[in-house]
Structure 1
Amino acid sequence: MKHRSSGRGAALAAAALVLAPATAWAGGMTLHTRGVRPTARGGAFVAGADDVGAMWFNPAGLAHLAGTPDGVDDDDRGSTEVLVDATFVQQSGEYDRIDSGGNPQGTVSNEAAGLPIPTMAAGFDLGDQGVLAVGVGAPFAGLMKFPEDGAQRYSLVDMSQSLIVQLMVGVGWKLGDHIRIGATVQDWVQSLTQRVVVSGCPGQTLCAPENPEFDSLVEVSQNDFFNPSGSLGVQLDAGDKVTFGAAFQAPIKMSGGATLRTRLPSSGFYQGASVVGEDATVSYTLPATMRLAVEIKPTPQWRVELAGDVELWSEHKEIRIVPKDVRIENAAGVGTYELGPMAVPRNFDNSYAVSLGVEGQPVKLLPLRILAGYTFETAAAPDAYLSVLTFDGQKHMGTLGAGYRIGRYTFDAMVGVVKVADRTVTPDVGVSPQLTPVRDPTDEPLEVYVNWGTYRTSWLMAGAGVRVDL
């Protein structure tokens, strides 16, 4: 017999499984900055963006590359600028869990190694007015890995093998001497692999909510190759010393196929049972971003930028999952469970960031630049859904950097640290559920929440890069 009512419970679990990769790129799993030079300025690279890396912050800044920029000799200026940089990003994470019975479970720590994250781009001079650019890069992400039998296992085991890449084509154009505009067309490509433990405790039997005999390890693989988006930007010079900048990044509608592989629980209840089918589709929205900034040049050698970012994570309301003929067959005495479509609510909050960046040349005759930056950013994940998948919180980022130009080569280096405020999810607030694929919640309510406890995290970054005029 086919228990279609139980399919709702199974669909909820499948939704949550596929949901994990979807929310990995939410606030807390990525930083609001990228690239060596922009990060050295604290991510304040909107009004003052003036190299090919402007594509990721404000594409209007590409127009600075048209013709010969101020302060650069014609002999040192080619018709193409090439950027190659890489930043090593390491996110630590510690979680002191309180289980569903109110018992402390000790501390688990992130075991994943840091990630070297590259950025590559090239800008091609179209004359005195315009520039065409192409680029590829990835968000500054810290992906977590924990013990398979750790206290956190019902939220995440491993996501360290995942990858997201942004492919871009951009144009920057000068409208006279004081206004620059720009736009990009983007494709977001992701390859995500995530492992998590679900509970196979069925509604027909009584079992402890976190009985290891009913633990089932699930691996979800998702590949999306075409997810288009784009951005627009403008810069306005209000005199020689003040520049205003604004940019808008459109939301990204992510949708693609996923594969679910399951290791059934060791309990005798599942003797002879099997999982049939492994395909599903998942869709969700990554948020739009708005940036506003002003840059002041108190002297020709120094620049100070104040920038504000708003990431509209309130758009991230739900994950839509549609399994394709996935079911559990021959479970003792209960027949077949089918997994049906499901929408999982997320209810994230908008996040806000304020950045201050400084870049200057202390000695006029020495082409050495000093960079520094600070950012404060709010959290996107609310307490109710905070978990080891999204180590999120209020962030304080401090960065230092240096740059040096030798002929057609400009070298940049940066170090930075991000301190995230500790957060505690109490039993009266946390509602991230234990995943129970074969339990029908309409027949027997089972409220087992698995995100209670205290979360601690921080980030370290170090990077270097080169820009070459060809």
Structure 2
Amino acid sequence: MVWKVQNARPVCAAGVVAAAVLAAVPETAFAAGAEYPDNGTIAIGRGCAWAANPSDGLAFQYNPAGLAQQRGLRLYADARLAKQNVRFTSTSIKGDPIENSADAFLGPSGALTYGVGPAGPLSELTFALGATGPSAIGIVNYPHKGVQRYALTETDYFIGYYSASVAAGWGDWLRVGVTGQLAHGSAKFSQAVFSGEYPGTEPEKDSYATFEGSNTVLPTGVLGLTVLPRPDLAIGLSWRPAMDFAADGTLKTEVPEWAKANAKQVGDQAQLQLKFADVVRLGVQYKPSTRWDIELDAVYERWSVLKEVRVHTKNVTVVPSFAPAKPVKVDDIVFPHDYKDTWSVRLGGDYQAITDRLALRGGYLYESNAAPSKTVSVDFPNWSRHVASVGASVRAFGAWIDLAYAHHFVDTQVVTDSVVVQQTTPQILPGFDPVKPAVVGNGTYEASMDILSLSLRVPFGDLSGNL
């Protein structure tokens, strides 16, 4: 494994529809349904079991109630490299197996927190500002003419969650927290579309299209609660609500030379529309001493809300060269996904090998699959998985340095009932029937993932200068 970082032939509407069909891909950018678990070096090192009583800066994402226990001014900076390994052997299209050649994807996160301590009736009060990138792979590259080309050739995207949090404690038994977030993302996807006059998969008859767009800001948030019924036990619960995501963008196309004289595209504006799932986390942490703890989490994601992905075209037409007075409207493009709700079980913990100097951690995670077999494709290789992880924290010069590694054993998918078909251009030439799209999703899908994460935690103390 190498770690690199990259932050009169009928074509008609070949370009227009080619770009629009990229709506089949965007879930790559965004859980079991479209993300993998999870961000944060400490969390990754302990199998992402970090919902009961998280104590680092990324508590604003897992369970903001955990922020309440932080005192003074603290800086948290995190960077994660994720390498997605994918191999697809098609039984639908003749050709060599393909692999993802993209470099490791860099995902940053950060937070600044200040805990004021007791405030009036509150035993604890903390404020935080933070930002986190996606727990997903933003860059994927497949062969331009590979057997997967009708699903995806490449992606380049990023989505950030810009956050503000407040958390408070009552006595020594209850903590609550809320995070308000603005999500902003940009995305660029490319894909092949078959533009031949008869059914087929000849590469020379393909058009290539790119959707590129971004949203403004999407408000969302996280609510969290932690109950401590006794000193050695913490029970945490958090919820991120479902979201409707819409990104405005353009549809750009590259058609074969022989097709350029047949039609032209007028207009290029479109909007990508999809839904994100509710995410509910429940964690139970047992900490019998200051030396060690163990935590068991369950996470539920309501991906059944994602029935389809839609590209809404805005006054996009195709004007045939032989009938310029009769433009053809490009309708909305709809892709059914029929995702299922998913769940994961996470087990992990920490051990203080040298008190206040060196901590070791490890964990395990299982996550179910959102996509039914018939809709599996290379655009979203995050199928059901087992994850093993290890991590450590070292204190030096008053700061903590955290390191974690996780390997994702993704279940191989053997698909024989695929409903994933190539996208084809509309037929506008007289005397030709619409081209029946070929099924392109059958075959064997193999995947795995390696994640390396590093973070820095700096406790500055309170604003008066006390350390």
> TM (normalized to structure 2)?
0.88
Counterpart of 2:60 in structure 1 is: 55
Change (3 A) 1:7 1:175: farther
Distance 1:266 1:89 in 2: 38
| 1:258-337 equivalences in 2 (<5 Å) | 258-268=249-259, 270-331=260-321, 336-337=327-328
Q: Give distance in 2, aligned partners of 1:332 and 1:144.
A: 39
Where do 1:212-291 residues align within 5 Å?
Answer: 212-268=203-259, 270-291=260-281
Given the alignment, which residue of 139, 143, 147 partners 1:147?
A: 143
Aligned match of 2:363? 373
Equivalent position to 2:186, from 168, 188, 191: 191
Cα contact 1:10–1:439 (8 A) shared by 2: no
Look up the match of 1:44.
Answer: 49
SS in 2 for 1:162: strand
Tell me, in whole angstroms, the C-alpha distance in 2 between the residues paired with 1:106 and 1:333. Answer: 41
Task: Report percent identity of matched pairs.
Answer: 26
C-alpha displacement at 1:350, in angstroms? 1.2
How many angstroms does 1:146 deviate by?
Answer: 0.7
Letter in 2 for 1:436: T
1:355 to 341, 346, 349: 346
1:33 and 2:38 are equivalent in the alignment: yes
Amino acid at match of 2:419: V
Match of 1:346, as an amino acid? H
The amino acid across from 2:314 in the alignment is K
The aligned amino acid for 1:132 is F
Other structure's SS at 1:45 match: coil
Residue matched to 2:458: 468
Match of 1:437 in 2: 425
Conserved 8 A contact 1:35-1:53: yes
Q: Which runs of 5+ in 1 are unaligned?
A: 1-5, 67-78
Pair 1:7–1:449, CA change in 2 (3 A): same
When residues 136 and 151 of structure 1 are mapped into structure 2, their CA distance, relative to the original with a 3 A threshold, is same
| CA positional deviation for 1:150 | 1.0
Give the 3-state SS of the residue equivalent to 1:213 in structure 2: helix
Please report the RMSD computed on the Cα atoms of aligned residues, expressed in angstroms: 2.4
Determine the structure 2 residue equivalent to 1:21.
Answer: 26
| Secondary structure, aligned partner of 1:139 | coil
Shift of 1:104: 4.2
What does residue 87 of structure 1 align with?
80
Residue in 2 aligned with 1:74? Answer: none
SS of 2:193's partner is strand
Say how many residue pairs are matched: 440
Shift in alpha-carbon separation, 1:407–1:176, aligned structure 2, 3 A? farther
Which of 380, 400, 405 aligns to 2:390? It is 400
Give distance in 1, aligned partners of 2:396 and 2:15: 62
Q: Determine if contact 1:414/1:463 at 8 Å carries over to the other structure.
A: yes
Cα distance, 1:403–1:438 mapped onto 2, change above 3 Å: same
* SS of structure 1 residue aligned to 2:362: strand
8 Å contact from structure 2 (residues 35, 382) kept in 1:
no
Partners of 1:105 and 1:342 lie apart in 2 by 28
Question: Take 2:114 and 2:84, find their aligned partners in 1: how far apart are those partners?
Answer: 36
8 Å CA contact retained: 1:11, 1:342:
no
Specify every segment of 5 or more residues in structure 2 that has no aligned partner in the other structure, as ranges: 1-10, 119-123, 461-467
The whole-number CA distance in structure 1 between the counterparts of 2:76 and 2:426 is 52
Question: 1:437 corresponds to which letter in structure 2?
Answer: T
Alignment partners' CA distance in 2, 1:163 and 1:332: 42
Q: Which amino acid aligns with 1:87?
A: R
1:10-49 deviation digits (Å, cap 9, x = unpaired): 9976653234224532537531210111111111001131
